[in-house]
């Protein structure tokens, strides 16, 4: 097989192994190969490893400029990743010398635009909020869902919001990360029987009406430095519970994302940084 362009990129610390397979047919990676490439300490990704593996392919849909295939650390394909969307959009715009593009994913078409040096805005579309769109196993309102952790009379975590931003999210609002222990309870919630497709778990501390501090347990990955769809979900959940305004600065462990849930068309706009760590062939 001839050499293929390979890049290491990150969006707010969310790290990706990127294969550019445009113009190729038959390029497929096995579950085991994906896991090995993402695994920390290997010769490809170095000690940090990768949170996701991305394959850029030729677009399938009319009007799209490229298709993004997303694989998590466990070797499973997922439908959406906000931070990866910014990275691939930035790469396409740089290579094509344009300031906007349409990126196709399994979750749909995403309009992306340059927003300053190494900054990209993505229209993530409207959030899905019905119980069967999350999806949940039972019929219930998704402003607050029936998930509690801790003593029955004084639960540590309770009343999370559920949002689908191309993938399912459950967002708890916390005052103290030490008490919430996201790194310990994340996996418990991910595999809670209420979520038939597992779930990404957000732990959001509202600093003000315009700022959230967020930690995310990503399904199939664990704790991450950033999660773009998780930041979008946290803002949507916060607005629905009347905790914040619709324009919110979201601080994650890897940096800062700016999220706006527009009232006029219901779309969520995410703006954040992109970093190209290395570029070559493999």
Query: Can 38 be counted among the known catalytic residues?
Result: no
The catalytic position among 38, 170, 227, 232 is 227
The catalytic position among 38, 81, 112, 170 is 81
Query: Can 170 be counted among the known catalytic residues?
Result: no
Closest alpha carbon to 89 in 78, 74, 105: 105
Token readout for 227 is: 């999660």
Token readout for 139 is: 């019929």
Give the C-alpha distances (Å, rounded to integers) separating 31 from 7, 246, 263.
Answer: 20, 39, 41
Task: Yes or no: say if 105 and 79 are a contact pair by the CB < 8 Å rule.
Answer: yes
Please list the residues that pair with 161 across neighbouring strands. 171
Please list the residues that pair with 55 across neighbouring strands. 19, 69
Distance of CA 227 to the CA centre of its chain: 4
Burial tier of 243 (Cβ tally within 10 Å: 0-12, 13-18, 19+): middle
Q: Which residues contact 251 (CB under 8 A, 6 or more apart)?
A: 207, 211, 212, 213, 214
Sign of CA dihedral 112, 204, 207, 273: negative
Task: Yes or no: say if 4 and 27 are a contact pair by the CB < 8 Å rule.
Answer: yes
Name the residues annotated as catalytic: 81, 227
């Amino acid at each position: 097989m001839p050499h293929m362009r390979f890049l290491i990129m990150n969006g707010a610390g969310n790290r990706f192994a990127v294969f550019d397979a445009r113009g190729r047919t038959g390029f497929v990676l096995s579950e085991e190969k994906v896991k090995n490439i993402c695994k920390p300490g290997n010769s490809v990704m170095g000690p940090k490893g990768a949170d996701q593996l991305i394959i850029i392919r030729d677009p399938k849909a009319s009007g799209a400029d490229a298709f993004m295939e997303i694989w998590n650390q466990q070797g499973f394909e997922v439908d959406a990743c906000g931070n990866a969307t910014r990275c691939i959009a930035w790469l396409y715009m740089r290579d094509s010398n344009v300031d906007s593009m349409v990126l196709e994913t399994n979750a749909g078409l995403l309009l992306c635009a340059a927003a300053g040096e190494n900054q990209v805005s993505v229209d993530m579309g409207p959030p899905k909020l019905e119980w069967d769109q999350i999806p949940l196993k039972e019929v219930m309102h998704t402003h607050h869902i029936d998930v509690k952790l801790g003593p029955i009379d004084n639960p540590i975590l309770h009343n999370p919001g559920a949002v689908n931003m191309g993938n399912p999210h459950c967002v708890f609002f916390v005052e103290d990360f030490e008490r919430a222990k996201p790194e310990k309870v994340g996996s418990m919630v991910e595999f809670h029987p209420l979520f038939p497709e597992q779930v990404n778990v957000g732990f959001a501390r509202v600093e003000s009406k315009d700022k959230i501090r967020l930690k995310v347990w990503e399904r199939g990955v664990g704790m991450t430095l950033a999660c773009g769809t998780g930041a979008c979900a946290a803002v949507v959940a916060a607005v629905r519970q009347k905790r914040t305004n619709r324009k919110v600065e979201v601080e994650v462990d890897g940096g800062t994302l700016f999220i706006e849930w527009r009232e006029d068309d219901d779309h969520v706009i995410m703006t954040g940084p992109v970093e190209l760590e290395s570029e070559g062939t493999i």
